[in-house]
Chain A
Amino acid sequence: MMKLGILFSGGKDSTLALHRAAESHEIACLITVVSENPASFMFHTPNIDLTGLQAEALGVPLVRVTTKGEKETELADLQRAITAAKETYGIEGVVTGAVRSTYQAARVQRICHVLGLWCFNPLWLKDQVVLLREVVSEGYDVIISGVAAEGVSSLLGEKIVPKTVDVLERLAETARINPAGEGGEFESTVLDAPLFKKRIGLVRVKKEEEAHAGVLRIEEARLVEK
């Protein structure tokens, strides 16, 4: 059994990857990189600040690093975050929720190689609709917290339930979107999952929408007993 750090955005993919890793390894910490650049290819995601509460819900420590999100420096910042996780929590490997992005996967692989760490991508090449259906069937409570594609925009703020998966599957055929949103079509935020000891209750949210893009800004949230 290895001690692993999870690259954690708080969305469905990194949370599902965490659960898969926890089946056979110890989750020593979560690693979150907060980008100040909304155009960041690697790290931008709405409600990234919620990872603190999600870590608390999981009962796992969080290593949090901020980056300006510039193309070259954000990778150095990711390396800094993973190094901190290695030094503080003795991680032997890193887990990502990468599904298809060779851009992201290769960059994390390089950093792990430099730092002498294992790298695991348990969702790699997984069928995107199957992935969504696993999230639903295993009892994850996930909301769509960011949208950036025509057809998907009406789903802002919706929970991912079987009907949502049907809509996304249909859009994958008709509008050629990536049904799991890995192309940035939508972002998700996990409010509850099997390993969460408490769930996250939303107290105040605000929808910000423009054309086909939008964000569900979580302004206040708290932990709730399950």
Chain B
Amino acid sequence: MMLVISTCAEELSEREFVQPLSAIIPKSRIVHWSKVTQKDIAAASAIIISGTALADFAYLEGDWSWLKDCAAAVLGICAGAQVIAKVFGAELDKKTVIGVRPIQAVRENELVLEGASGYFLYTLEPKGNFDVLARSDGAPCVFRIPGKDVFGCTFHPEVLNPDIIRRFLAKKF
């Protein structure tokens, strides 16, 4: 079972950030971050943590410590990438990026292909010792937590790069 964790404080935002993920992963189960249980995590074959509205920061107050021991592969999108970065000891720099920007694979990998663009929508940028897979304007935009199947993507792949999500679910990374 694929699990989609909503980071949206407002239900209206879920139409924008969660439902498009469900359209790419039709058989997924959606749970709000404040209601995720150990049972949900244990039952998931893969987990995607959604993004949310630019003005929304409530998700940063949540308990995401389960990420450290999670057996399933995890992909955090935007806000999801921020919580992954935070749990694994990285900083979140105040930096605003909004709009379509080029993304460049740093090294050959199956998750991010060369020559793509991504839709960015964030005010906090993860900064840490990641295994960086792709950069945009010099900043890591797709990263992996070393030694784990836990990935962060600071842009919204559901907008222009749905294949990144499909390759992640097919464990092509």
Contacts and interface: CB of A to CB of B under 8 A. Distances in A.
Q: Among the interface residues A113, A125, A127, which one has the most CB atoms of the partner chain B within 10 A?
A: A125
A137 interface: no
Contacts of B10: 2, 24, 118, 120
Given A102-B99, A113-B123, A120 B20 contact: no
Contacts of B158: 125
Nearest to B13: A120
A110 B159 contact: no
B169 to A, nearest CB: 18
Give the interface size class of chain A: 20 to 34
Interface in B124-173: 158-160
Contacts of B55: 93, 112-113, 116-119
A120 B12 contact: yes
Interface in B6-58: 10-13, 15-17, 19-20, 23, 53-56
Given A109-B98, A113-B98, A118 B16 contact: no
A109 B15 contact: no
Contacts of A116: 55
Contact of B96 (A21, A113, A126): A113
A110 B12 contact: no
B54 A123 contact: no
Nearest to A96: B16
B119 interface: yes
A105 B52 CA distance: 14
Nearest to A100: B159
B121 interface: yes
Contact of A119 (B54, B100, B159): B54
A25 interface: yes
Interface string A98-141: 00001000100110110011111111111100000000000000
A106 B53 contact: no
Can you list the 6 inter-chain pairs with the closest CB atoms, starting with the nearest?
A106-B99, A125-B20, A122-B15, A124-B16, A118-B55, A121-B16
21 contacts: A2-B10, A21-B12, A102-B100, A106-B98, A109-B54, A110-B98, A112-B54, A113-B54, A113-B96, A113-B123, A116-B55, A118-B54, A118-B56, A120-B12, A121-B15, A123-B15, A124-B15, A124-B20, A125-B16, A125-B23, A127-B23
Interface of A: 2, 20-21, 23-25, 93, 95, 102, 106, 109-110, 112-113, 116-127
Given A106-B99, A120-B13, 15 more contacts: A21-B12, A24-B12, A95-B12, A106-B100, A106-B119, A106-B121, A113-B54, A118-B55, A119-B53, A121-B16, A122-B16, A123-B15, A124-B20, A125-B19, A125-B20
